[in-house]
Structure 1
């Protein structure tokens, strides 16, 4: 398990995390004691077959599901000590989510979709607009701000979703199979954006079953039966310079 440099607080720190579903003979040990440290600025890919525990791990890291045992600190916050409203604020401010299915609101244009999480964060309209326009420019969609999701390609929709994940300036960008519904060209565009975000200092954790996608990360963790069984360090991780438009 990688250790953070002295003086650098990890964004993610899991200590002996277990997750159990069911009781008696129906008990399922989805996570069987996971220790994980992700320092600020790291880029980690998590791989594993169906049932390996990677989705359960993502749900716990994303504060969507509590651990049965163990401790989880997110950017220094002990998640288990947070009340529901506090935990909702932690999710909104500290985690940016990117999903395989984009999860955009069909009746909202790109700008309104990106502004949405800031409404929950209580930011004023002018600040929401400024941040949303900046995030859309970052992902190469400054000329698509008024387009509805149905007027955008799959790759463009995912780029809107990435922009939406960035506007609250989260400590962690958490991506669940972000290229799973994309063609090869759109996949390359999305991965170039993630590469650039990480090169600029953004901490990223990505769940993927695609080796080519995982190779963009600095570390690749392999899960089997609820455990991290192997870790690879990718010293040649690619970091793109341009964003396709």
Structure 2
């Protein structure tokens, strides 16, 4: 099943002589269960593409279909619903609410979605247990290490059982050990059938994905499968959560 379908998408910021063309006719599809790394230097358009995939921005031209729905036809209210229900976000800077516990942070997307309190609590506890943080549920972000904060962010991304997880430089603020922990979780999610798209500038991170897309000056210059070359995910990876 095709989860993400990008068709000849362009994105231009500004007008006239100051216009910047961030994307130049990008086309790609992501199938259910894909584990995709999007790579590119600063200014290549990878962050712009991720924002469009996450329904945080809209193309200047072209079409983007999420789970078969043309995102360009949705009003702001329906777009917000789609983001909440079908996309799980993981950011480089974690984006946790400072004065809320890990548990409350993970419950947040469900609260926005109108899920009842008891069900929110049950699902958030399960998500935190899945990333190995069942003993840190009452800790606020400033009481957690960077790696633990990112694991909370992953639990928050998973708690609504999204169609796709979008991770923007998820290891960018982590040390080597925490990076390995987070990548092992992503490997496990992929092994369980989750669809994952991540942005990274690190070859070591991209090597864990099944497929690598490279952008240069707003264009896709390479899109290759690498399982046959690089082999399967490391044996330490454990499935986390259920596939959708």
Q: Provide the TM-score with structure 1 as the length reference.
A: 0.94
Q: What corresponds to 1:179 in structure 2? A: 171
In structure 2, how many angstroms separate the alpha carbons of the residues matched to 1:189 and 1:242? 11
2:116 to 117, 124, 144: 124
Alignment equivalent of 2:237, drawn from 207, 227, 241:
241
Match in the other structure for 2:104: 112
Query: Counterpart in 1 of 2:139?
Result: 147
How far 1:242 moved relative to its partner? 4.2
Superposition pairs of residues 184-223 of structure 1, within 5 angstroms:
184-223=176-215
Offset of 1:86 from its aligned partner?
0.2
**Which consecutive unaligned segments of at least 5 residues does structure 1 have?**
1-7
Q: Does 1:167 align with 2:153?
A: no
How many angstroms apart in 2 are the aligned matches of 1:233 and 1:111? 37
2:242 matched to which residue of 1? none
Shift of 1:77: 1.3
**Which residue does 1:57 correspond to in 2?**
49
Aligned-partner Cα distance in 2 for 1:237–1:111 = 33
Residue 215 of structure 1 contacts residue 237 of structure 1 at CA under 8 Å; is this kept in 2? no
| 1:48-83 CA distance string (max 9 Å, x none) | 000000010001000000101001001111100101
Task: Tell me by how many angstroms 1:15 deviates.
Answer: 0.5
Once the two structures are superposed, what CA deviation does each residue of 1:3-24 show, in whole Å capped at 9, x if it has no partner? xxxxx2x110000000011111
Contact 1:45–1:220 (Cα < 8 Å) also in 2: yes
Find the partner of 2:25 among 33, 46, 53: 33
The runs of at least 4 consecutive aligned structure 1 residues that moved more than 4 Å come to: none
Whole-Å separation in 2 of the counterparts to 1:71 and 1:107: 39
Matching of residue 47 in structure 1 with residue 42 in structure 2: no
Instruction: Give a deviation string over 1:146-186, Cα, whole Å, max 9, x none.
Output: 11111111000000000000011100100000000000000
SS, match of residue 181 in structure 2? helix
- Tell me, yes or no, if structure 1 residue 13 matches structure 2 residue 17: no
RMSD: 1.0
Unaligned regions of 5+ residues in structure 2, if any?
240-244
